[in-house]
């Protein structure tokens, strides 16, 4: 069973495990493993992370006591982890839309009955809740697709090439470069994330699938040359949490941890701190949001040394948090 990757995946699992383990009698590790679709060692690793962080980096306001014995896990806590996490409003809307689609063929049959229909009952409960939300405030929180005019017609050119499976020559300006690069690409898919359109395409120079932000494509033209789309190509593999990135496009980021937290980080990474008690690690980063969250969780005790691009990510997050322009 595959393990969900990244900090977001681990947090999702932890927020599922803790309420289940807080029930009377606890929960079976085997049942949790089956429900999450991961192996039992992954569940145990997640629980270890909870206890380790509570020890050296407490969040405050919640006391936890975990007990693992006989293939079961028990969580003793007087607070919020005794109940499941509420759906966010966006999650509730997505669930409501999915339920409507599921019931589309049977709505007339079910709507006039009082029979036991868990799906129908849940949908009605969601619609009642959503009807109380101020429409303008809620819509302001939903990220709309970028539908601005495209004077150069680049989006249309790439969309047509994608449909006809024709290769394209593009001029692409990467952040920090002095000028655009000429690339020949095979368009596989077009996706939207974080307010931008991206082209997922095979780059003949890089010899792999890469993502290109459309507002950084300065020019595009088809070559007329056809290409095959691999049968195993999955656009979903390039999208996580509404963000578009490719796992094999990594940036080496060096982070220094002060002696205050270094020994705990060193223990997790199975390395030794330096003579002064500090620790410097190089992380291969595919998702900028991950390294920002990772560094900020340690406050002033962690610092990105290089590259400058990664330091800028953290600086931008801090300035945004502090309201600095």
> Higher pLDDT residue, 188 or 248?
188
- pLDDT at res. 141: 46
Q: Kindly list the structural domains of the chain, giving each domain's residue range(s) and its CATH number in brackets, ordered by start.
A: 6-82 (1.10.10.10), 89-139 (no CATH), 154-243 (2.30.30), 251-322 (no CATH)
Is residue 117 a contact partner of residue 102, using CB atoms and an 8 Å limit?
no
140 versus 289: the higher-pLDDT residue is 289
The continuous run of DSSP H or E covering 171 comes out as: strand 166-172
What is the predicted pLDDT for the residue at 319? 73
Residue range 260-285, pLDDT digits in tens: 999 888 888 888 999 999 999 998 88
Question: Tell me: the pLDDT tens digits for 131-188?
Answer: 655 554 554 444 444 555 565 688 888 988 988 999 999 999 876 667 888 999 999 9
Residue 59 has pLDDT above 50, yes or no: no
Q: For CA atoms 300, 53, 290, 138, give the dihedral sign.
A: negative
Ranges 105-119, 178-192, 210-224: which has the least confidence: 105-119
CA–CA gap between residue 65 and residue 82 (Å, rounded)? 12
| pLDDT band, very low/low/confident/very high, at 78 (cuts 50, 70, 90) | low
């Amino acid at each position: 069973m595959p393990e969900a990757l990244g900090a977001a995946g681990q947090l999702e699992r932890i927020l599922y495990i803790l309420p289940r383990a807080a029930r009377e009698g606890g929960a079976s590790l085997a049942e949790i493993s089956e429900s999450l679709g991961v192996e039992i060692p992954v569940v145990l690793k997640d629980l270890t992370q909870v206890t380790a962080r509570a020890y050296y980096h407490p969040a405050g306001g919640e006391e936890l006591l975990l007990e693992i014995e006989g293939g079961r896990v028990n969580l003793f806590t007087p607070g919020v982890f005794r109940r499941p996490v509420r759906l966010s409003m966006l999650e509730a809307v997505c669930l409501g839309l999915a339920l409507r689609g599921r019931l589309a063929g049977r709505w007339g049959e079910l709507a006039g009955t009082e029979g036991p229909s868990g799906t129908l009952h849940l949908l009605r409960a969601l619609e009642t809740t959503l009807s109380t939300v101020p429409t303008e405030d809620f819509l302001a929180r939903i990220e709309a697709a970028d539908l601005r005019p495209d004077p150069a017609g680049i989006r249309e050119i790439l969309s047509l090439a994608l449909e006809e499976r024709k290769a394209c020559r593009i001029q692409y300006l990467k952040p920090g470069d002095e000028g655009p690069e000429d690339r020949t690409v095979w368009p596989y898919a077009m996706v939207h994330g974080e307010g931008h359109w991206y082209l997922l395409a095979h780059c003949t120079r890089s010899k792999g699938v890469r993502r290109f932000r459309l507002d950084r494509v300065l020019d595009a033209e088809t070559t007329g040359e056809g290409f095959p789309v691999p049968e195993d190509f999955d656009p979903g593999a390039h999208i996580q949490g509404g963000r578009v990135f490719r796992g094999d496009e990594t940036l080496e980021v060096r982070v220094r941890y002060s002696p205050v937290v270094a020994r705990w980080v060193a223990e997790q990474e199975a390395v030794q701190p330096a003579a002064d008690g500090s620790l410097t690690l190089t992380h291969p980063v595919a998702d900028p949001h991950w390294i920002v969250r990772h560094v900020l969780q340690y406050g002033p005790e962690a610092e990105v040394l290089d590259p400058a691009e990664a330091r800028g990510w953290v600086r931008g997050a801090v300035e945004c948090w502090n309201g600095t322009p």
